Amino acid sequence: MDWKFGRTMAFVTLGLIEMVHSFNVRSDESIFKCGIFRNKYLCLAFVIRTNGASTE
- Cα separation, 56 vs 39, whole angstroms: 26
6-55 pLDDT, tens digit each: 898 898 888 888 888 887 787 777 767 777 788 888 888 888 877 765 55
Q: Using CA atoms, how far apart are residues 42 and 23, in angstroms rounded to an integer?
A: 8
pTM for the predicted model, two decimal places: 0.61
Q: What is the pLDDT of residue 26?
A: 72
pLDDT given at position 36: 76
Domain ranges of the chain: 3-55
Burial 11-38, CB ≥16 within 10 A → b, else e: ebeeeeeebeeeeeeeeeeeeeeeeeee
